[in-house]
Every structure is written in C-alpha cells, then in structure tokens.
Structure 1
Amino acid sequence: MHVVATAGHVDHGKSTLVRALTGSDPDRLAEERERGLSIELGYCWTDLPDVGDVAFVDVPGHQRFVSTALAGVGPVPVALFVVAADDPWMPQAAEHLAALDALGVGHGVLVVTRSDLADPAPALARAREELSRTTLRDVPALAVSGRTGAGLADLRAVLTEVLGRVPAPDPTADVRLWVDRRFTVHGTGTVVTGTLPAGTVRVGDTLSCDGVEVRVRGLESLGHPVDAVPGVARVALDLGGRAPEAITRGSVLVTPGAFEPVTVVDVGLTGGGSARLPERPVLHVGAALTTVRARPLADGFARLTLEHPLPLRIDDRAILRDPGSRAIWGVRVLDPAPPDLGRRGAARARAATLTAYDASTGAQLAARGLVRRSLLRRLGVRDEPLPEGAVEAGDWLVSPRSAAELRSRLRDAVERLATPLQPGVPEAALAHELGLPDVGLVTALVRPPLRVEAGRVLGDSPSSLPATLAPAVAALREDLAPAPFAAPAAGRLAELGLDPRAVAALHRSGHLLRVADGVVLLPGADEEAVQLLGTLPQPFTTSEARQALGTSRRVALPLLAHLDRTGRTLRLPDDRRQLRGR
C-alpha cells in the first residue's frame, strides 16, 4: 500500500480531487458537507495499476485547523500539493509547503485544480517558483479539473510513476503508530486509526502507549478486516473495551521496549525565515503536538524540553511552529538523550559537537563514553560492529577512550586500596570507586598486569608481610620444615600471636594455607600432599593417607576434605579416596 496526503489552501479543491480519484467522499462529517470545507482528517482509497492500493489522507486547509492538517501530513511520505487556477498563491498553501519541506517530504505531485475555470499556467508558474526552494522542487506538475475530469487520467499515470520510486519501508522495523483518530464502535470497543510508516502490525500483537500495554484485538485496512498489515499503510486497530481513556489523537502506540520516551532532545533547525525562535513553540511530530521550551544553542541548533515524553529517535523529522507568527522550523532530531548543560559556554560547545553529529555506533559510543547497547538501539542508533578498543560487558559498552582512562584509574585504585593482608581489591569496591554501574565492567576492563582471582583484582607483584607478622610466619616455616604436615597446635599459634583473624588474612594473602579452623600449613603443602598420595595404591584409606603424610588425624581429615573441595581427590562411597584421573 501507498499513503498520500493532500496539502494546500482551503477551498482549493483538495477534497474534490480526492473524490474524483477514489469515488469516495473524504468529508465524513455533516458539518463538513454543509460548509464545504474539511474540518477533520478524511480518508479514501483507490487502486492504481502497477502500484496497487493507494490511501489518501485529506487534510483541512483552513488556518484554524492547521494542527489537524499537520497531524495528517506528519507520518505520510508522499504529498499531493494542490493550488487552484482561479486563486492567487495563498498563506495556507505557503504554511503547508513549509511544513512538508520541514518534514523532508520529497515525493509528490503538484496539481493545479479548476483548470476549467481559469488558465492554469500562471498558478502553475507561481507554485513552481515556491516549490523550487523546498524538498518538493523536482516533483512533476500538471493541471486537472475535478469537476470535468480533465487531466485525471494523466494524474493517475504520474502518481503511479511517483509512487513506484518511493523506497519500500522495512516490514521488520519496530512499530510506531501515531494515532490520529479515536472512536467507539458498539459491540467492539475502542478503535484507533493512524498511518503506519514501517514495521508490521498483527492481530494479537501487544503494543505500548505511555508504558501501558494494549492488545490488538482486531485489525482493518482500507475497510477490510486483515490479520496483518505492513507499513506504509492506513490502519484501524480494535483495542477492545478496556483501552485507556488517555489514548487519543497524538498518542503513539509502539513495540514494547523498543523506544525510549524522552523529554529533552538536541535538534538541528531549518527554515523559520527571519522569525526568531520563540521560547515556547509547539512541536508537531507524527500526529502529536506538544508545547516545548526551546533553548537556542547556536545558529541552526536548539535544545527542546518537552512537556510530555515522546518516543523519539535519531534522525526523526518534526515541525516547530510559532502559533503567533505562524513561522515554521524544520526539526531533525540529533540526540534524544543529550548530556546536561552546566558550565558557562556549554551551549556553544554543544552546538559545535552537533555540527558533525554522527548516528553510527562508533560515533555514539565515543560521544557517550559509557552507555547501554539497548539504549542506543531504542534511540535509533544503527547496530554495527564495535570500534577497536571498545569494551563490552553484558548490555554495557565503553568507548576506547573511556576504557583507556578507566584502566589507568583501575590500576591506581588497586595499588592504593590493596594491603599486604588484603591482596587485591574486591570488584564491587572497585566498581564503586570508579563510579561504574555494573561489576561486570570491572572484569571486562582488567588487563595484565592486573588479574582477577576469586572476585578480587590483584596486581602483578606479591605484597610483603607487615613487620608485626613476618617473625611469626618465619617461625612457622622453621617448625614445619622437617615435618610439613605437622600443623602447629592452637597453643603454638597463640604463642606466635597468630589469632584467627591474622591467620585468615595470611591465608588470603597466600602466606599460609588454612585447611580448617586451627589447622595451618605452609603454602604449597596441598600440592606436596597430592604428590605423596599419588605413590599409594588407589584408592586409599584415611589411615593410609595419614601414615603417608606423617601426620595426625587432626590434620589428615581436614587436609583430605580440602583436597576433595579443590577437586584433586575423589571420596568414594566406602569412605576411601583416589586421586582424580587415576
């Protein structure tokens, strides 16, 4: 399907033209038919050879209904720009053209209507001149008469050619449907309509509106029930009888979790003429409008603070409008999650950054330093390979520059916080020290000479013993030299000043091996035990092990349990043991 929006001044024949093309009346309200002008958005459709179904969104041309017109034009990629042969160039035509230019609409047809009432050449020439300064500068143009039918066949042919050049949207894209109508159908419930620009909506889908999930209970397109509709398409969604009352024109239904609701955005601006950007303009995006607070950053750039969060992405197009002067600015979203502006001169520096703004993964990562991959996706950043030197930990990404800075700070923190009796530093403590949101980032940042052991980050050199404990450890080495498995009794440990806390610290630092409370050996004693036990017939009993080690049951039992825990021996059901792999 293709969707085309009309544009132009009031009473220039937009609805008549749509009626002639489709055979249907887009003015659905009695008041519209009585007054002869469109008040609400109208929808009709037809079939064109070679391109298939074409839906028309007929927008009101009266100045009082400009917000309604922009709600219809916003999500539509193709325009029929209509001027009348028997009328001069009018202000509302200029405003609609400025809006289409601001939205970057480049596909369409310039149509001069009422060619049966006046020579269309002057109107065509003036319109051509006005369009030449906009994104519609290269669109084809022709004259028609909706009353006599003159030129309609040529218009259908030209429109077919134009629509054939429109790029097809991605049917797998995330859904973002701007609601332009809401009404209630007896026996069905709430129905909303809108133009689906991309993605696919299916019956049974769950969509989200302001964080509240709704289910698509039924789906209709061009007056027919369907199971699924890919964009671009006009769709009507049956949301059942329990749809939130807050869903109305300007609401947006999105794929849950796929978009980030934002309230502050940095944007690039075009147009506006000589008008000054007001402090409180109105932002039109999709079918939504909201008042914003605009802070100019520099020529062509501004920061917008929205009254209500909207699911905006990088490169979204929108319109800023001053209701007083009727000036219009084109908006291109550059950063939907910008940094705070604090220090003096930050606004101008920010504008300089935005001048070369890049939506690639590498550029976004460089600009943000540390960011979640899922956030980048919700903001519309292209999913690309990470640049060399970037760090990934779960959902978190670190830019190469930030990773280098963090590694330097990490080395400094380990050297500063580690103690002789506390080798290394817990990863959680280092995450807090570096201000990192996830402990996994510490692990990902560790590079030699640092290493991670048992949840602690250690340096490359062993810590020396404190002077108060060095004599005690030396004395233990003397005691155990002739009999490495004759662990000293509790009295001897107390005599040396080695209380349980000191023993635990010496064990963590690798200066002693504590196999159980009160059972202390020298580092490497467990490996020596494995060598001796390997000389025994396998499997062996506890008594055989005790004799081979030349020690008592007080030491042999916890030492064998230690070897079991560390995976070097296997305890059998009959309480015998054997070395792993034997």
Structure 2
Amino acid sequence: MHVIATAGHVDHGKSTLVRALTGMEPDRLEEERRRGLTIELGFAWTALPSGERVAFVDVPGHERFLGTMLAGIGPVPAVMFVVAADEGWMPQSEEHLVALEILGVRLGLLVVTRADLADPGPAVREARARLAEGGLGRVEALVVSGRTGEGLGELRAALDRLVAALPVPDPAAPVRLWIDRVFSVRGSGTVVTGTLPAGRVAVGDELEMDGEPVGIRALESLKKRVDSATGVARVAVNLRGRAVPERGRALVTPGAWTSSDLVDVRISAAPGFSGPLPRRLIAHIGSAAILCDVRPLGGPAARLRLGRRLPLHLGDLLLLRDPGGHRASRVLAGARVLDVRPPELGRRGAARARADELAAASLDAESLLRVHRLLRGEQLLAMGCDLPGPPVEGDWHADPAHWSRLAGRLAEVVREHAADHPLEPGMPVEAARHALGLPDRRLVTALVRPPLEAAGGRIACGPSGGLPASVAGAVRRLGAELSAHPFLAPEAGRLTDLGLGPRELAAAVRAGALLRVADGIVLLPGADARAAAVLAGLPQPFTVSQARTALGTSRRVAVPLLEHLDRQGLTERVDDYHRRCRVGGS
C-alpha cells in the first residue's frame, strides 16, 4: 500500500477529485458536505491500474484548520497538490507548500482541477513555477475535472508512476504510529487510526504510548481485518490498556525511541521569513501539535522546551508555526533535531559553546559521544543511532578522546590516594568511580592499564602498591633481628618500638614483606617453608616441645606456627600430642 496526502487550498475541488478517483466520500462530517469545506482529515483509497493500492489523506485547505492539515501530511511521504483552474495559486496554497518544503516532502503530483470551469493554463504555469521554487520542481502536472471525469485516466497512470518512485520503507524499523483519529466501537473498545510510515505492527504486539503499555487487540487496513501491516500503510488499531489515546499521541516500539521534552535543534527559516523567532511557538511532528519555548543559542542553533514529552530520534523534523497567526504565513521555520538529551547550560558562555558544538554536529553516535562522552548502547539506539563499534565495557560506548583522558586521570587519582593513604593496599574502586564521575564501577576496572593493577576491589600502582619508606625501614630492622633467630617472632611491644603498629604490619603483610602466622605473630616471608624443612629432620612424629626446641623459639610462637603449617599442608596431626611432616607438602 502507498499513502499520499492531498494538499492545496481548494477544499471542494480536492474532495470532488478524491471522490471521483476512489468512489468514496472523504468528507465524513455532514457540515463538511453542506459547506463544501474540509474541516477534519478525510481518508479514501483505490486500486491503481498496476494493481497497487493507494490511500489518500485529504487535509483541510482553509487557514483556520492549518493544525489539522499538518497532522495529516506529517507522516506521509508524497503529496498530490491540488490547485483550482478557476482560482489559481492562493495564499493558503503557499502555506501548504512551505509546510511541505520544511517537512522534506519532495515527491508528488501537481493536479489542476475544475478544468471545466476555466482555462487551466495560467494555473498550471503559476503553480509549476512556485512548486519548483519549493523543491517539488520535477512533479508531473495534470489537468482534470472531478465533475466531468476529464483527465482521471491520465491521473491514475501518473499515480502509478509516483508510487513506483517512492522509497521502500524498512519493515524492521522501530514503530512510531502517530494517532490522527480516535473512536470507540461497541464490543471492541478504543480504536485509533494513523499512517504507519515504516516498521511492522501485528495483532498481539505490545507497544507503548507515553510510557504506558498498550496491546494490539485487532488490526484493520483499508477496512479489512489483517493479522499484520507493514509501512507505509493506513491502519486502524483496536487497543487494550489503560492509556487514554488522542490525536498527537504515538504508539511506539518499547525502548526504541527517546521520550524527551527538551531538544537541541538546527533552525531553518521558512521562505520569506527572517527572524528572530518568537519565544513561544507551536511545534508540529507527525500528528502532534504542542506549544514550545524557544531559546536561541547562537546562529541557527536553538533549544526547544516542549509542552510535553515526545518520542524522538536524531534527525526528526519539527515544523514551527506562529500560534497567533499575525503574519502572511504562520509557518515560520523547520527544526532538525540534533540532540534529544541535551546537556545543561549552567555556566556563563555555555549557550555559545553549545551552539559551536551543534554547528559541527552530525546525526550519528560519534557526534553524540563527543558531547555526552559515555552512553549505553540502548540509549544510542533509542536516540536513533547505529552503534559506533564495540563497547568499552558491558554495553557502554565512549568517546575515544574522553576514554583516553579518563585512563590518564585514573592513574593520577590512584597516585594521589596512595600519597594520602600510604598504608592502604590501593584505592577502592568505588572511590575511584566517584573521583572520575563515572556511572558504573565496571568502567573503572576497564580503565586499568599498567602499572595500575586491580584486585580485591582496589586499584594500586604495581603488584603490591609499594611501601612507604618508614614502613620499609621498619621491616628491614625486623629482618636484621630475625636473621639470628628466624622463628623467634618479637612481641607486640618490640614491634611497636620498631615502628610496626597494626596498620604498618597490615600494609607490610599485604605487600608480601612479612608473613603473618597469627594475630601478633609475624615472621619473614618463606619462614614457614624453612620451618617445615627443619622439622622434617626430627624423628617422626614429633611433639610441640620438640618442634619448639628445634626451631629455637617460644611456645607462644611454636603453637600458632605449627597450626599455620597444618593449614599449608606442610604438617599434619597424628593425635592430640604429635604431628609429622608431609612428604613434599602433599
């Protein structure tokens, strides 16, 4: 299926033309038919000579219903621009063209209707010239009469050529279905309609609307029940869920869009308008129309604060119009979305700096990461970006320059921590995370580079983190005392005299400079293996007293040392009084 909007000033001529093409009445309201004035969006469809089906969204032409017109053309990829032969190019025709130009619609047909009432030549020439200026210069021009049927065959053939030229939408794209009509059906409940531009919806799908889950109970396309529909398509969706739909809301794939009420944009002024923009405007996207506040940042860059959250991607186009209408054209500008999660602007000069960033911004993940520095893969996808490559850790992606700076900064904060806390085995990972302002502990460990090492929830310089000179000197003095009696561990008082209090002892043990046998009992590294070698020379099994004598130490040291050897598998108990050495420690 293909969907085309019918735009232009002449309401009666458009409706008559659509009726003649489809055999359907696009004007649903009795008031519309009575006054010959399109007030609401109308929908009709037909089969073309090729067998392709095309649906028309008939939008109002009168200036009082510009918002409704924009809701109809917002999601549609092509336009049938209708001009009346007896009226020619009108101010509202100009406004419709400006809107199409801003929204990027570049495919369509020019149809001059009511050719039975006036010479169509002047209207064709004027409309062609204006459409060319507005970016629709290559459109075919046809002359028809909806009343007499003149030219309808040629128009159907031209529609076939138009739909053949339309780009093929991605069926795997995330769904964003803007609601343009809501009604209730007895026995079924709430039904919404809209133009599905891309992606696929199916019965049973779970979508979201304003963050609330909604399910698809049933689905119709062109009045026929279907199990699924793929964009581009006109669909009617029977919803289940507690969310209350209305025109301007959107059904979206969960997690695939960023819901935002603050966006940074690049402004493109409408033809004939020169700024500055008013500070309060109406922003249109899809079928949504909401008030927004405009904050100029510098040059074409601006920040929009929207009246409510919208599901957005980078690159989305918003149309900005004057809510007061005190201008020749109320359509003032287009706004291309460059960031859906813009940073705060707190410091002096931040707005100007942000404008410079946006001037160089492109619609990709790399550009976003230069500003946000770190983003999860799911956040990038919800912003409408492809992932830039492998993540730095988990699903985190980083700006390469920022990631390199973080690695250097981590080394600095670890060295600073070591200087301030010389007896600690390293900087706690959580403290490093706070120092670097990182959102995830895993990012800290991913930044560790030699000579940094991470172990036990801490980061240190080198395998042990080193020892302060005072502690290293105290260990050397203890080693000198133990050289003559390697198993005669000094008592607590002597350790204190040497400068080895509890914190210093803990640091030396963590650094591998001392061996802790038990609380208050420390020896030099390797003393346990040497003790086992001495004990192996005793008659087996042996007692604690025999071990104490052989090792030249006290019972205070011998008992915990033997228990330590048991734990190491170097000795084992035979009974309550005897031990023996295990051959090879096995």
Q: What TM-score do the two structures reach when normalised by structure 1? A: 0.87
**Residue 234 of structure 1, CA deviation:** 1.0
Q: Which moved more, 1:489-498 or 1:506-515?
A: 489-498
CA RMSD of aligned residues (A): 3.4
User: Is the contact made by 2:10 and 2:83 (CA closer than 8 Å) also made in structure 1?
Assistant: no
Cα distance in 1 for residues equivalent to 2:582 and 2:4: 81
User: Is the contact made by 1:51 and 1:164 (CA closer than 8 Å) also made in structure 2?
Assistant: no
- Residue aligning to 2:424: 422
**Residue 33 of structure 1, CA deviation:** 2.0
- Residue aligning to 1:328: 332
**Residue 200 of structure 1, CA deviation:** 0.9
Deviations 1:350-375 (A, max 9, x none): 33332332123323222332333322
**Residue 577 of structure 1, CA deviation:** 12
Report matched runs for 1:174-323 at 5 Å: 174-240=174-240, 242-245=241-244, 247-272=245-270, 273-276=272-275, 277-323=277-323
Identify if the C-alpha distance between structure 1 residues 3 and 487 changes in structure 2 by more than 3 Å, giving closer, same or farther: farther
Secondary structure of 1:423 counterpart: coil
Q: One-letter code of the match for 1:329?
A: A
Cα distance in 1 for residues equivalent to 2:92 and 2:337: 26
**Residue 542 of structure 1, CA deviation:** 12
Q: Which runs of 5+ in 1 are unaligned?
A: none
Q: Which moved more, 1:311-320 or 1:500-509?
A: 500-509
Cα distance in 1 for residues equivalent to 2:541 and 2:152: 102
**Residue 79 of structure 1, CA deviation:** 0.7
Q: One-letter code of the match for 2:515?
A: L
Cα distance in 2 for residues equivalent to 1:35 and 1:500: 95
Q: One-letter code of the match for 1:378?
A: A
Aligned pairs, number: 562
Q: Which moved more, 1:443-452 or 1:481-490?
A: 481-490
Report matched runs for 1:544-559 at 5 Å: 552=558, 554-559=560-565
Identify if the C-alpha distance between structure 1 residues 5 and 476 changes in structure 2 by more than 3 Å, giving closer, same or farther: same
Q: Which has the larger radius of gyration?
A: 2
Cα distance in 2 for residues equivalent to 1:581 and 1:308: 73
User: Is the contact made by 1:542 and 1:556 (CA closer than 8 Å) also made in structure 2?
Assistant: no
- 2:386 is aligned, of 369, 382, 389, to 382
Secondary structure of 1:393 counterpart: coil
- Residue aligning to 2:365: 361
Q: One-letter code of the match for 1:146?
A: G
Identity of aligned pairs, percent?
Answer: 52
Cα distance in 2 for residues equivalent to 1:191 and 1:560: 78
Q: Which runs of 5+ in 2 are unaligned?
A: 552-556, 573-578
User: Is the contact made by 2:10 and 2:84 (CA closer than 8 Å) also made in structure 1?
Assistant: no
- Residue aligning to 1:166: 166
Cα distance in 2 for residues equivalent to 1:580 and 1:244: 74
Secondary structure of 2:380 counterpart: helix
User: Is the contact made by 1:12 and 1:113 (CA closer than 8 Å) also made in structure 2?
Assistant: no
Cα distance in 2 for residues equivalent to 1:221 and 1:541: 92
**Residue 433 of structure 1, CA deviation:** 1.1
**Residue 38 of structure 1, CA deviation:** 1.7
User: Is the contact made by 1:263 and 1:307 (CA closer than 8 Å) also made in structure 2?
Assistant: yes
Secondary structure of 2:124 counterpart: helix
Secondary structure of 1:216 counterpart: strand
Identify if the C-alpha distance between structure 1 residues 410 and 186 changes in structure 2 by more than 3 Å, giving closer, same or farther: same
Q: One-letter code of the match for 2:261?
A: T
Deviations 1:275-307 (A, max 9, x none): 431111100001001111112233433221111
User: Is the contact made by 1:281 and 1:292 (CA closer than 8 Å) also made in structure 2?
Assistant: yes
- Residue aligning to 2:447: 445
User: Is the contact made by 1:103 and 1:331 (CA closer than 8 Å) also made in structure 2?
Assistant: no
Identify if the C-alpha distance between structure 1 residues 560 and 164 changes in structure 2 by more than 3 Å, giving closer, same or farther: farther
**Residue 532 of structure 1, CA deviation:** 6.7
Q: Which moved more, 1:514-523 or 1:102-111?
A: 514-523
- Residue aligning to 1:371: 375
User: Is the contact made by 1:101 and 1:330 (CA closer than 8 Å) also made in structure 2?
Assistant: no
User: Is the contact made by 1:12 and 1:84 (CA closer than 8 Å) also made in structure 2?
Assistant: no
Q: One-letter code of the match for 1:477?
A: G
**Residue 24 of structure 1, CA deviation:** 1.0
Q: One-letter code of the match for 2:360?
A: A
- 2:466 is aligned, of 457, 463, 468, to 463
User: Is the contact made by 1:189 and 1:238 (CA closer than 8 Å) also made in structure 2?
Assistant: yes
Q: One-letter code of the match for 2:263?
A: V
Cα distance in 1 for residues equivalent to 2:188 and 2:148: 41
Deviations 1:442-487 (A, max 9, x none): 11122122222222221248533353x4565235424554676676
Secondary structure of 2:126 counterpart: helix
Secondary structure of 1:217 counterpart: strand
**Residue 498 of structure 1, CA deviation:** 4.5
Q: One-letter code of the match for 1:267?
A: V
**Residue 552 of structure 1, CA deviation:** 4.4
Cα distance in 1 for residues equivalent to 2:452 and 2:66: 64
- Residue aligning to 1:514: 516
**Residue 118 of structure 1, CA deviation:** 1.3
Identify if the C-alpha distance between structure 1 residues 496 and 82 changes in structure 2 by more than 3 Å, giving closer, same or farther: same
Q: One-letter code of the match for 2:434?
A: H
Deviations 1:81-118 (A, max 9, x none): 11111113112111111111110001111111111221
Q: One-letter code of the match for 1:372?
A: R
**Residue 31 of structure 1, CA deviation:** 2.0
Cα distance in 2 for residues equivalent to 1:580 and 1:5: 89
Q: Is residue 42 of structure 1 aligned with residue 45 of structure 2?
A: no
